[in-house]
Amino acid sequence: DMKVTQMPRYLIKRMGENVLLECGQDMSHETMYWYRQDPGLGLQLIYISYDVDSNSEGDIPKGYRVSRKKREHFSLILDSAKTNQTSVYFCASSLYGQGAGNTLYFGEGSRLIVV
Amino acid sequence: GEQVEQLPSSLIVQEGASVLINCSYTDSASVYFPWYKQEPGKRLQFIIDIRSNMERKQNQRLTLLFDKKTKHLSLHITATQPGDSAIYFCSASRGSALGRLHFGAGTQLIVIP
């Protein structure tokens, strides 16, 4: 069963706390992504990982960092969370890159509230 | 960079009606256009795509039209059902392996039984 799993699904943090969002996939996909979804803005790309330790900034990387030490696992880290990072975060994976016609498989999302 | 716009932002129709979702993009180098659907509380799922060397693609009740000259796409859904209620996202990419998908803001479709 091809699946992208995100943990945790819901999270409330205080401003200044660190946040770790985790994502796993069981499809041996090379490429993984982190997006955030905000009302009226659609999906904005935070980071892409092309493989283990091969990460690239997306359109809105400021305030975020990522880690990919195993092909099946991709983490998003917020060091000192800010209230404007309240959002729904989606992880996705694809066999190869986004542009090659490879379908993206999405996780169910992680809703983060920063108070 | 690429800008993808969708209209309308929301749509409410009666079951059985047809709907049209419009999408425009700005980067003439974009060649691949997948669409994704997000049902309430669920993950995004791929529904249909088209490449720039095609004008039309159909998948059951979904028809995707592409106009390269005007940089415009239209997703036509016929015989809508309540299960079609979702947010529909248009996206565009340049097609290379390292290319990135740029998403529109989405169109929320509500189908009333």
- Our CA angle for A75, A10, B34, nearest 5°, is 65
Q: How far is B59 from chain A (nearest CA, A)?
A: 16
Which residues in chain B show pLDDT less than 70? 97-99
The residues, ordered by sequence, that sit 6+ positions from B60 with a Cβ below 8 Å of its Cβ are none
Residue A101 has a pLDDT of 67
Q: What is the mean pLDDT of chain B?
A: 94
List the single best residue of B100, B102, B107 to mutate versus A (max A Cβ within 10 A): B100
Cβ neighbors of A62 (< 8 A, separation 6 or more) are none
Spatial contact of B1 and B27, defined as CB atoms under 8 Å apart:
yes
Residue B82: helix, strand or coil by DSSP? helix
Residue in B4, B36, B98 nearest the CB of A97: B98
B48 reaches A (C-beta below 8 A): no
Q: Which residues of chain A have pLDDT under 70?
A: 1, 97-101
Q: What was the pLDDT predicted at B95? A: 73
| pLDDT score recorded for residue A40 | 82
Express as a percent the part of chain A with pLDDT over 90.
82
What share of chain B has pLDDT > 70, as a percent?
97
